[in-house]
Amino acid sequence: MRIFSGIQPTGGKHLGNYIGAIRSYVEGQDRGEAIYCIVDLHAITVPYEPATLRTNVLDTTAVLMAAGLDPERCILFRQSDVREHTELCWLLGTVTAHGDLNRMHQFKEKSARQRELISAGLFFYPVLQTADILLYQTDEVPVGDDQRQHLELARDIAERFNDRFGETFVVPRHRIPEVGARIMDLQSPDEKMSTTAASQAGLVLLLDDDRTIAKKVKSAVTDSGTDIVRAPDKAGISNLIEIMAVIGDRSPEDVEREFQGSGYGDFKSAVADAVVDYLRPVRERYNELRPDESRLEAALEEGAERARGLASDTMEHVRARMGIGPVHALP
């Protein structure tokens, strides 16, 4: 089985990224052929600083390796180092319906926040994401719940291409965590945890120090009740229960039973301690890895070389199917 996922090199990675995606990346190394891409081409669809982007790519590489990705057990690379991504994006654009892109929730949300140019690249973002996935004949894509719509589009595009040109692409399926697929902001539990939030008070960054993490979790917004149970009107406490369940590798029901009769203060303290212990090894390992930029670049280049081998095979097949370039016998 081949597993693929991409991660944006934007902002600091946070607890939601770790629980919703990164831990699945690490587990994927034991379940199949794992391919992970730092998607710098996606990052330039919104305003950015070039120097900051380069720094963020290395920051993200160090975070992923600190979390447990091993370049010898997976393929870890920078998207822009494999030019087949952009070529396949253009070719897939010819079988993508404009109306499908118009319905993408993330485009609507991101374009609404733009104060400057709303780029065509932002609109076309889901097609490039589809190319990222299909280029490696991916069976499974570990994603957070917010990416469900984009993965469904990738499936539709693959099926449409196969129907028109013959069986070419594997139709991928998503892998969304049953618990923790959508970690919410600790101060605004009706919104997903994100580095673009107006305040960082509800954002637990992977590289926050122990005291900062504990303070943010203990200050999490909850309702006026006292019961440690999930409910539609208890978004804050429900979020903390999910976080505790993931960290402890148990069910939310187990967490509710353990803390039955406890007050919110005691529960938030327990969650804070658990999150601090959970993230400390990642931060410590990151601090060891990040200064050695030559090592990080070498890991990305080695991964890109391996990725290019797979990507070129796919593109040879795609070009032949579509009648692009010189005549080659189909595999």
Q: Which backbone phi and psi does 2 adopt, to 5 degrees?
A: -110, 130
**Regarding the domain with residue range 2-180+293-322, which homologous superfamily does it belong to in the CATH classification?**
HUPs (3.40.50.620)
Kindly give the confidence (pLDDT) of every residue in the chain, 331 residues in length, as a single tens digit, with 9 standing for 90 and above: 999 999 999 878 999 999 988 999 999 999 999 999 999 999 998 888 999 999 999 999 999 999 999 999 999 999 999 999 999 999 999 999 988 888 887 776 776 666 677 788 888 999 999 999 999 999 999 876 677 788 899 999 999 999 999 999 999 998 877 777 789 999 999 998 988 787 889 999 999 999 999 999 999 999 878 889 999 889 999 999 999 999 999 999 999 999 998 889 999 999 999 999 999 999 999 999 999 999 999 999 999 999 999 999 999 999 999 999 887 656 5
Q: Which CATH architecture has domain 210-288?
A: Orthogonal Bundle (1.10)
Distances in whole angstroms, Cα of residue 37 to Cα of each of 3, 78, 298: 11, 6, 15
Residue 33's H or E segment, with its range, is strand 33-38
The answer to whether 65 touches 291, Cβ cutoff 8 Å, is no
Interhelix angle 50-67/293-322, nearest 10 degrees = 100
Tokens for 79? 């998207």
Among residues 15, 72, 69, 27, the alpha carbon closest in space to that of 214 is found at: 15
pLDDT at residue 7, as a whole number:
95
pLDDT at residue 117, as a whole number:
73
Among residues 122, 126, 125, the alpha carbon closest in space to that of 114 is found at: 122
Q: Domain spans of the chain? A: 2-180+293-322, 210-288
The answer to whether 155 touches 163, Cβ cutoff 8 Å, is no
First to last CA, the chain: 20
Q: Which residues pair with 75 in a beta bridge?
A: 35
pLDDT at residue 146, as a whole number:
72
Tokens for 27? 């587990």
Whose tokens are 């290019």? That residue is 308
- Give this prediction's pTM: 0.91
The answer to whether 205 touches 196, Cβ cutoff 8 Å, is no
